[in-house]
Amino acid sequence: MISYTFTDKLTGKASRLSSSKSANFTVSPAFGFNSDIDTGFSGVQGTLGISRFPGAKYFYGNVPAAPPAVPAGTVMPIFCLKPTLPIGSPGVANLGNFFRQMRPGQMATIYQEAEHDGYTEAQIKAAHATASTVFDQNAPKGCRYVQCLMTWDASGKSAHGPLNQWVATRADGSPLDMYGFDTYPNTATSPAGSVLDAALAELKLVVPSPVIGITECNYTTDLTGGITYTAGTQAQWFKDAWSWASAHNCLTFISYFLTAHGVPWPPVSATLTELSAIAKASGL
Amino acid sequence: MAAPVISSITFDQATYAPGAKVTATVNYTAGTQGTPLVFSDVATDKATGLSGSLSATFMVVQPDSTTHAASDSGGRAWTQVSDSGTVAVFTATA
């Protein structure tokens, strides 16, 4: 949860005497789902009994001509683009065209989980430097340029680790607007919090005070060799991850469900109950 | 004269999802403004026509209407939707 301070300054029109008082309110991580979830967003909303969710993650194999129409209330979607690398003039033009059409609150990145795309760290970091520059020149105020990293690469087991070598910045070395963690178990007994702690520690080696989010999350995936968290339930995994996200001021909390990746939607009832509780806790 | 006093600020929810409407309610007491007035009296002796005078100032205190300036640490735009004179309501987007 991110805490904000509201202040009202009250001033007498004639006397010009004034006083002020402040109070805090909190904004939760943007709860949401991957755009390719089995039943689509409307199916998710129906199953969970919610009318909207603010977070979402959209995947593209290129740079589309325009951002997609997102459901009402999905105010913080992440658009994951794939320009041809290295980014040349056509890529710059396409990215600029896309970024210009984004709406405040929306986020964009290129090559999410790039650690596994066959490019070198230098190629990916250079691409982010270019893309973030184009973003800063074109995106409306209030949009964010982000990077989505795999927690697996902070596990000590990944052939693509350590994670920190993939962390990108802007061309001038300043941080990107958010770093997202695609969060899956490192071992059968590693709870979500320990996985995220390890990833955050790696990130901080490059960006000491990052803005972070969870940009994918589930307790198993065939993309990491089929490791499943068995020390607890899938519901427990989500509960722990949500608790970590809330405690670490995450901007997003996006769960990932897709039958083709071993995490079908809808999940078992206990997981649905937990996701409903998270939705409620998030203010939905 | 007295400064206005805000007694409480409350929100309609404990936590907001991004994009949700935040409603803040401010309870307050308006301050006062004082208008100084001068009382003067002139006393004249009827026989001699000599006179003396004295003046003193007194204050008329009235309620002072107020203006609000609402802001938050996240840079949101706050809209004042009502103000009864003792309760003001503001909204913004989380």
Q: In this predicted structure, what is the pLDDT of residue A123?
A: 97
Q: Do B22 and A12 touch (CB under 8 A)?
A: no
User: Mean pLDDT for each 10-residue chunk of chain A (284 residues)?
Assistant: 96 94 97 95 92 96 97 96 96 98 97 90 97 98 97 92 96 98 95 97 98 96 79 97 97 95 93 96 92
List beta partners, residue A24.
A5
Q: In this predicted structure, what is the pLDDT of residue A116?
A: 83
Residue in A8, A15, A282 nearest the CB of B70: A8
Least confident among A225-229, B34-38, B80-84: A225-229
> Which helix (H) or strand (E) element contains residue B85?
none
Contact of B18 with A28, CB cutoff 8 Å: yes
Q: Do A18 and B33 touch (CB under 8 A)?
A: no
Give the pLDDT confidence of B41-76 residue by residue, as tens digits. Answer: 999 999 999 999 999 999 999 999 999 999 999 999
- With both helix axes pointing from N to C terminus, report the angle between A269-281 and A40-48 in degrees, rounded to the nearest 10: 90
Q: Do A7 and B16 touch (CB under 8 A)?
A: no
Q: What is the value of pTM for the model shown?
A: 0.89
Q: Do B9 and A23 touch (CB under 8 A)?
A: yes
How is residue A183 written in tokens? 């969060």
How many contacts (CB atoms, under 8 Å) link A and B? Answer: 138
What is the amino acid identity at position A250? C
Q: Do B70 and A7 touch (CB under 8 A)?
A: yes
Q: Do B64 and A13 touch (CB under 8 A)?
A: yes
Distance from A282 to chain B by nearest Cα, in Å? Answer: 6
What is the amino acid identity at position A260? A
User: What number is the ipTM of this complex?
Assistant: 0.87
Chain A neighbors of B19, CB-CB under 8 A? 52, 54, 73, 75-76, 105
- The alpha carbons of chain B give a radius of gyration, in whole angstroms, of 25
Q: In this predicted structure, what is the pLDDT of residue A224?
A: 60
Contacts of A274 (CB under 8 A, 6+ apart): A235, A236, A238, A239
Q: Which of B1, B7, B8, B9 to mutate to test the interface with A (most CBs of A within 10 A)?
A: B9
Using an 8 Å CB-CB cutoff, list residues of chain B that contact chain A.
1-6, 8-11, 13-20, 22, 24, 26, 28, 30-34, 64-74, 76, 78, 88, 90, 94
Q: Do A27 and B32 touch (CB under 8 A)?
A: no
The beta-carbon contacts of A158-163 under 8 Å, at least 24 apart in sequence, are A158/A115, A160/A115, A160/A116, A162/A202, A163/A115, A163/A199, A163/A202, A163/A203
Distance from B80 to chain A by nearest Cα, in Å? Answer: 11
Q: How far is CA A195 from CA A31, A186, A241, in A?
A: 19, 7, 9
d(CA A1, CA A249): 5
Chain B neighbors of A28, CB-CB under 8 A? 15-18
Q: In this predicted structure, what is the pLDDT of residue A223?
A: 63
Residue in B5, B16, B33 nearest the CB of A19: B5
Q: In this predicted structure, what is the pLDDT of residue A260?
A: 87
Distance from B56 to chain A by nearest Cα, in Å? Answer: 22
Chain A neighbors of B14, CB-CB under 8 A? 26
Q: In this predicted structure, what is the pLDDT of residue B20?
A: 95
Chain B neighbors of A282, CB-CB under 8 A? 15, 17
